Amino acid sequence: MNNDFTIEVELQSGPGILNRMINTCNRRLIKIKSISAFEKDDECSIASFVLHTSYANAIKVKKQFNKIIEVQTVSITEGVCACTIEEENY
């Protein structure tokens, strides 16, 4: 059964990384309902994905995101979650 999952990724800023993450979903035919991505500072960026897929697929995407060299942390929550980054960091 498919549900919404929010995957939040903390990564080192750099070109092409968002592309890698989108490719990860595309090649598995996993629907991306929304993406938001922004640079927190020179070093760190945040990307947040809402995926509509099965739990098993969401876990696989989490692992695949973790495998991307520049990715620092990946968290996953069931449902559509607001970005947890505190306001002062914007």
Partner 1 sequence: MQNKLNQQPKAALLMKPEELSGAEIIMRCLLAEGVNMVFGYPGGAILPVYDVLFEYEQQLKHILVRHEQGAIHAAQGYARASGKTGVVFVTSGPGATNLITGLADALMDSTPVVCFSGQVGSTLLGTDAFQETDVISASSPLTKWNIQVSKTEDIADAITKAFYIARSGRQGPVLIDITKNAQLGKTLFQYQPIKKLTTYDPVPAINRLVIEEAAKVINAAERPYILCGQGVILSGASESLIAFAEKANIPIACTLQGLSAVPTQHPLYVGYLGMHGNYAPNVNTNECDVLIAIGMRFDDRVTGNLEKYAKQAKIIHIDIDDTEINKLVHVDVPVHADAKEALELLLPMVVPATHTKWLKSFQDLYKAEYEKIISKNEVTDSTSICMGQVIYLLNEVTKGDAIIVTDVGQHQMIASRYSNFKQPRSNITSGGMGTMGFALPAAMGAKLAAPGKQVVAIVGDAGVQMTMQELGTIAQNDIHVKVIVLNNNYLGMVRQLQQLFYKQRYSSVEMINPDFIKIAEAYGIAAQKVVKLGELKRALREMWKYKGAYFLEVVVEKEENVFPTMPAGAGVNELLLSF
Interface with partner 1 includes 60 (CB under 8 A)?
yes
Q: How far out from the chain centre does Cα 66 lie?
A: 10
The count of residues interacting with partner 1 (CB under 8 A) is: 17
**Site for partner 1 (CB under 8 A): which residue of 2, 3, 16, 31?**
16
Which residue do the tokens 């903390």 mark? 10
CB burial readout 56-86, b (16+ within 10 A) else e:
ebbeebbebbeebeebeebebeeeebeeeee
Shortest Å distance, C-beta 68 to partner 1: 9
Interface with partner 1 includes 72 (CB under 8 A)?
yes
Interface with partner 1 includes 9 (CB under 8 A)?
no
